[in-house]
Chain A
Amino acid sequence: DAKTTQPPSMDCAEGRAANLPCNHSTISGNEYVYWYRQIHSQGPQYIIHGLKNNETNEMASLIITEDRKSSTLILPHATLRDTAVYYCIVRVEDNSKLTFGKGITLSVRP
Chain B
Amino acid sequence: GAGVSQSPSNKVTEKGKDVELRCDPISGHTALYWYRQSLGQGLEFLIYFQGNSAPDKSGLPSDRFSAERTGGSVSTLTIQRTQQEDSAVYLCASSLYSGARKAFFGQGTRLTVV
A interface list, Cβ under 8 A from B: 32, 34, 41-46, 49, 87, 93-103
| B99 pairs with A95, CB closer than 8 A | yes
CA distance A87 to B105 in the complex (A): 14
CA distance A62 to B98 in the complex (A): 23
The smallest C-beta distance from A85 to any residue of chain B, in angstroms, reads: 8
Q: Which residues of B contact A93 (CB under 8 A)?
A: 99, 101
| B107 pairs with A87, CB closer than 8 A | no
Which one, A34, A43, A97, contacts B56 given CB within 8 A?
A97
| A96 pairs with B91, CB closer than 8 A | no
CA distance A4 to B33 in the complex (A): 21
User: Could you write out 24 A-B pairs with CB less than 8 Å apart?
Assistant: A32-B101, A34-B101, A42-B107, A43-B91, A43-B93, A43-B107, A43-B108, A44-B105, A45-B105, A46-B101, A46-B103, A87-B42, A93-B99, A94-B98, A94-B99, A96-B48, A96-B95, A96-B99, A97-B56, A98-B103, A99-B45, A100-B42, A101-B42, A103-B42
For chain B, what secondary structure do more than half of its interface residues adopt (helix, strand, loop), or is it mixed? strand
Please report which residues of chain B, range 98-114, place their CB below 8 angstroms from some CB of chain A when the two chains form the complex.
98-99, 101-108
| B45 pairs with A46, CB closer than 8 A | no
Q: Which residues of A contact B50 (CB under 8 A)?
A: 96
The smallest C-beta distance from B36 to any residue of chain A, in angstroms, reads: 11
CA distance A43 to B36 in the complex (A): 11
Q: Which residues of B contact A44 (CB under 8 A)?
A: 43, 91, 93, 103, 105
Q: Which residues of A contact B105 (CB under 8 A)?
A: 42-45
| A96 pairs with B101, CB closer than 8 A | no
Q: A43-B93, A46-B104 are in contact. Are A96 and B42 (CB under 8 A)?
A: no
The smallest C-beta distance from A95 to any residue of chain B, in angstroms, reads: 7
The smallest C-beta distance from A2 to any residue of chain B, in angstroms, reads: 10
| A46 pairs with B102, CB closer than 8 A | yes
